[in-house]
Structure 1
């Protein structure tokens, strides 16, 4: 659990920022490196992923509810969340490193769910 107790509802709030979990939740952190030209393939995750770029740059592509692909670029010190289907790629010529924090239901049986590429992908 986020707070180390057996409570099923966890709420942390401060300065108008809130984190709420209605099920037992696990948090894990790791570094992920994308070599030049490498990409993740379309996928999603249970829960929420927060990524912080610690070196290089990456592009993240997501799909809007209307089916439009949106591509954004993130560089060192920038962060983004991963919710819903997306793909991440290193379009640069140096390795890109992401510090990843996953916040997910403890009962989740997989950390990544492969997704089909959308028509715009």
Structure 2
């Protein structure tokens, strides 16, 4: 089966993802996705209804949260994104090579993969 990359909907820019697998079990949906963020690309500010486990497989990811404190993850780094609107964040590529991510979503069944939110005040004007 051929898998095509699909460009994420706004407000994301310069990102593309493809689903590697998806299944439901016990009221949860498990989705494994490969995402590429091109140089200068961004996911847009968002949060998740479920928990994510992320592996950076190439490049350097800029990943600040609601306080806009710098958070950087390099190739080989594994991290967890907590769920809920109290944990908004953005995934950006400020480097010169594409960032590759492998992301496991553990969501409540029927939830979207992410929910867009406005950028926090500390981000405006940057």
Normalising by structure 1, we get a TM-score of 0.74
SS at match of 1:81: strand
Q: What's 1:88 paired with? A: 91
Q: What's 1:47 paired with? A: 50
SS at match of 1:36: strand
Gaps of 5+ in 1: 7-23
Higher RCO (Cα < 8 Å, 6 or more apart): 1
Q: What's 1:116 paired with? A: 118
Partner Cα distance (1:87, 1:113) in 2: 11
Q: Is the 8 A contact 2:24 2:30 kept in 1?
A: no
RMSD: 1.7
Moved over 3 A (4+): none
Gaps of 5+ in 2: 1-22
CA shift, 1:81, in A, is 2.1
Q: Is the 8 A contact 2:24 2:109 kept in 1?
A: no
Deviation per residue, 1:12-35 (Å, 9 max, x gap) = xxxxxxxxxxxx111111110000
Q: What's 1:9 paired with? A: none
Larger C-alpha radius of gyration, 1 or 2? 1
Q: Is the 8 A contact 2:46 2:114 kept in 1?
A: yes
CA shift, 1:3, in A, is 9.1
